[in-house]
Structure 1
């Protein structure tokens, strides 16, 4: 097929960027497949061999016989926004060897808990009272029903390596072909069940590292608010105003565009041509760097633009200064957004966490050093942000060079300057979805600036606090999405519903925890940001409403995560758009501006919007055909 394709300009010797770029925007056919197929064809015609096995090791994507329960999450962009609108993934990522091993271990564990395989450890003949109580509360094993049919355990022919005692040996003593046979038979007969203890344990394990990652990355942004807030309320409001403008004009669109690498890098990795992952990374990085030029020019004149919108001139002036300085951090931000997709496509999901474990404390130190110790004041905060963004990019580069991930780097390639058109068309939906959500929340900050400096500073504190608490339910929703997708993909629909019920309960508990935290510390938390009595009074007045909102915020995040798990995330996207733009924002404008309720009105609209979206999405989850989702997942797995 590749040889019958017409050779585009990018395949000619010495490609001309000026002529090849426009032609790439006329490319048709399925976008993602077209991009990867074209790159593979170019490699073949240039005599570049498949480099997936160049190191002589077994491919991570080589197919293996046996069950594959585990499916990694897709379309997840580890960021600091409030991500409810996530673009629907076009393709499932490729399973790595580590993930396949996790799949086998999970299947063995489920077979043991359902009494189909012998227990891993010998069972006590007469357990103590403490052991019995512990097992009743925390054991993940499915309880045998009195008088129920006993499930026949698998038997294996004895050999020299067979254990002498029942229950002896290791988890790997069972041959893979027997495990496959037993698993498929158990699933077909409906013998596989799960317990709330197992699902609670699994969701906790899945989400704990995600929570650490999200909190660390968000801390990079709130550190400057902590540092600047105690200078004055004008400075505090200016930081919020600058962050809002930067989010809308750059960070949200760039992060949305980079989500296309979730598909492209995964497909390139699955094609067996590892160096194509690096090519897609280069292509997106160059594209974003090109867009950085007009963004930087816009930020240079941000002060003049904000002066025409914001009634407080000093706030606009400081916000403009802030944005001029953080221009220096844009290259690092671009490299990090593209780079973390580069490593995630290889299954290296902890790389970003390791980077943040180093960069986040350094960022806190830089804010203290520049803002307070050296006495630079307000300008120290954006300088710290710019340094930290570039530092994270350097740390990720060092991780790839000296730890893992370099196997997918094939060197700099001039082809990265061609075929941008299909990539842009693939990236635009993600950009629109992300930017639409950022705009819905950040526009409230712009409205708050109309009420005066104190209200703008109070809005900055409220947004920071509610966004910080959001870093708990959202990672939990990702864990639930992953777990439900795992079970749906394994055709274990009843188990998936059990996991969804546990996730719903977990979201309620997290919401209650966040509500209790904000309401009980309504006067203490503002002191972390400012000493201004007027600002503290405004925050304390609005805090009960924001605390009540935590219930619906957590449930809305969880409902969208469960929709992703059953493959119905497109409904969640529409529900969120409608709730934000047709319900939340109109109510906020009507009550905040029309009735002059100010911040109370703004946050009332957001609370009602989250209530509506959570109710509608959970209703849709309840009436959806989960068995149909399982059949669709089976077709995707077979096609993949």
Structure 2
């Protein structure tokens, strides 16, 4: 353990000895003799590590989801026109800025996780510098689109007053775009080193600040929609600055940041080869739901409201597989970067199992409460009935979609996002969307038609992704990961028995004199 508080165990291969039943950290959790007999130690160890990552990641994602959710509640009290304007502004920002920015930042989930796993720590800093420059440059086209939001919305036949309110909100949010992008990179930087808790702390503080700012600016100062946009802007700056301050305070950057380097101006082509498919992978999935809202709006206000309720419920339930997705990406990337092919394969199988179990539990809850879920959002009986009808099939949709989500995390960690991007394009836009539109309008199933179209789509995706993962040349992926990390180390192939160890991810926050909040996990064995 060095003075900066960064663990010496920089990869899944950092152990100093063979893990036994007695010394394994998972032994504290899996004490059942049946489990120990039927589940190999390697899988129990990996399940233990994945669950320890997934918990804080899940809470962090829920906290991040709450910020726009709270803004929706506040703006909703201003009037229908204001709420509609806010909805359009949010959709515009999501489609043109959030989806693309998050997609570009996903590149770090591949590069940082693999490079950190290889112990080439200073290269992690170079990757972050390169990412910062590229995302800050990407602010320019985003601003160009956002500035012209009103004109674009009018071309799409939106109401003039609603488009005007949307533009007002977007104008106030524009300064926050760089802060939003930098925060995505900060999260990727820490997360792929197995450092999770700082993001959770800062997200909690930002949520409290967001509520206070929305109330003060909207009602106390009477700024209306402008106040909500300003609150979102300030909250975005605050969460980015808080996380930056925490990194500096706890010296979490010392082992990976060697200062600004000319190397950050190199290898942009290799970065973009991963960045473009990463962005398309996310955007193809994100945009399909925005399109679904537009299609539901063509059916009338009741169907649009029901679709919105389904989207809100879907966003909440999606947080669980998304937490496993992030854990999968970190674990697979770290293992490949460390040259441990066997560990990457074990991780892939374990995270798919975890996502399936969580989705099954979610399905039981959703299925048993489907008749009352709609009442959380509205008292309109027609909307509640539509939500209940769709929830019967959404239970199966969310189960299969959880497998798709985690599979994409595995592909992202292994640097195969191009496969996921192409699969998303074909399945969503060549199968799911045409089928959904046909069922919505031609078969007159309305919103249920879109749900069924997406269900067929994700079933095909899940089968394809799982088949691809099992058929991948993992040894070749390991060698490529070593090259990306700037190292050509020894590759531990599938079937070769290697000692299991507790990786750096056992430290959700680095341990050391500068970090009293360390979460102990049994140390390195």
What is the TM-score of this pair, normalised by structure 1?
0.63
State how far apart, in whole Å, the 1-side matches of 2:193 and 2:158 are. 49
Matched-pair contact (CA < 8 Å) for 1:237–1:453? no
Partner of 2:357: 509
Partner of 1:97: 8
Shift of 1:581: 1.6
- Structure 1 pair 343/557, CA: closer, same or farther in 2 (3 Å)? closer
Matched-pair contact (CA < 8 Å) for 1:519–1:543? yes
Shift of 1:245: 1.7
Partner of 1:575: 423
Offset from partner CA, 1:140-182 (integer Å, 9 cap, x none): 4x57xxxxxxxxxxxxxxxxxxxxxxxxxxxxxxxxxxxxxxx
State how far apart, in whole Å, the 1-side matches of 2:415 and 2:264 are. 33
- Structure 1 pair 574/267, CA: closer, same or farther in 2 (3 Å)? closer
- Structure 1 pair 359/438, CA: closer, same or farther in 2 (3 Å)? same
User: Of the candidates 194, 200, 207, which is equivalent to residue 353 of structure 1?
Assistant: 200
State how far apart, in whole Å, the 2-side matches of 1:504 and 1:101 are. 19
| Structure with the bigger percentage of helix | 2
Partner of 1:20: none
- More RCO (CA 8 Å, sep 6+): 2
Partner of 2:60: 213
Matched, 1:136 2:10: no
Matched-pair contact (CA < 8 Å) for 1:241–1:319? yes
State how far apart, in whole Å, the 2-side matches of 1:267 and 1:588 are. 38
Pairing 1:445-456 to 2, within 5 Å after superposition: 445-456=293-304
Partner of 2:72: 225
Partner of 1:91: none
Shift of 1:381: 3.1
Offset from partner CA, 1:559-598 (integer Å, 9 cap, x none): 4445567876654443333211211111122222444433
- Structure 1 pair 632/288, CA: closer, same or farther in 2 (3 Å)? closer
Offset from partner CA, 1:593-638 (integer Å, 9 cap, x none): 444433222222112111111123334455x27xx52575378668
- Structure 1 pair 491/291, CA: closer, same or farther in 2 (3 Å)? closer
User: Of the candidates 271, 289, 296, which is equivalent to residue 441 of structure 1?
Assistant: 289
Matched-pair contact (CA < 8 Å) for 1:223–1:364? yes
Offset from partner CA, 1:330-374 (integer Å, 9 cap, x none): 131122133334445766454433322322333244344444666
Shifted more, 609-618 versus 232-241: the winner is 232-241
SS class of match (2:251): coil
User: Of the candidates 184, 209, 216, which is equivalent to residue 362 of structure 1?
Assistant: 209
State how far apart, in whole Å, the 2-side matches of 1:586 and 1:515 are. 26
State how far apart, in whole Å, the 1-side matches of 2:267 and 2:285 are. 29
Q: What's the C-alpha RMSD, in Å, of the aligned pairs?
A: 4.3
Matched-pair contact (CA < 8 Å) for 1:279–1:416? yes
State how far apart, in whole Å, the 2-side matches of 1:294 and 1:375 are. 32
State how far apart, in whole Å, the 2-side matches of 1:136 and 1:412 are. 53
Offset from partner CA, 1:300-321 (integer Å, 9 cap, x none): 3312321231454444343333
Shift of 1:134: 5.5
Partner of 1:428: 276
Matched, 1:381 2:292: no
Matched-pair contact (CA < 8 Å) for 1:560–1:569? yes
Matched-pair contact (CA < 8 Å) for 1:485–1:565? yes
Offset from partner CA, 1:428-469 (integer Å, 9 cap, x none): 343333333322332222323333444333333221210211
State how far apart, in whole Å, the 2-side matches of 1:331 and 1:287 are. 11
Offset from partner CA, 1:478-522 (integer Å, 9 cap, x none): 4356667788864658x956x666544433332232223334444
Matched-pair contact (CA < 8 Å) for 1:232–1:532? no
Shift of 1:253: 1.8
Q: Find the structure with the greater CA-based Rg.
A: 1
Matched-pair contact (CA < 8 Å) for 1:230–1:530? no
Shift of 1:549: 1.5
Matched, 1:337 2:248: no
Q: Please, which runs of 5 or more residues in structure 1 have no aligned partner?
A: 1-55, 61-95, 124-130, 144-191
Q: Please, which runs of 5 or more residues in structure 2 have no aligned partner?
A: 490-525
- Structure 1 pair 616/397, CA: closer, same or farther in 2 (3 Å)? closer
- Structure 1 pair 120/524, CA: closer, same or farther in 2 (3 Å)? closer
Shift of 1:299: 2.0
Partner of 1:629: 474
> How many correspondences in the alignment?
478
Partner of 1:31: none
What is the TM-score of this pair, normalised by structure 2?
0.74
- Structure 1 pair 513/533, CA: closer, same or farther in 2 (3 Å)? same
Pairing 1:266-305 to 2, within 5 Å after superposition: 274=122, 281-282=128-129, 284-305=131-152
Matched, 1:639 2:488: yes
Partner of 2:398: 550
Matched, 1:608 2:456: yes
State how far apart, in whole Å, the 2-side matches of 1:194 and 1:266 are. 24
State how far apart, in whole Å, the 1-side matches of 2:200 and 2:137 are. 28
Matched-pair contact (CA < 8 Å) for 2:305–2:383? yes
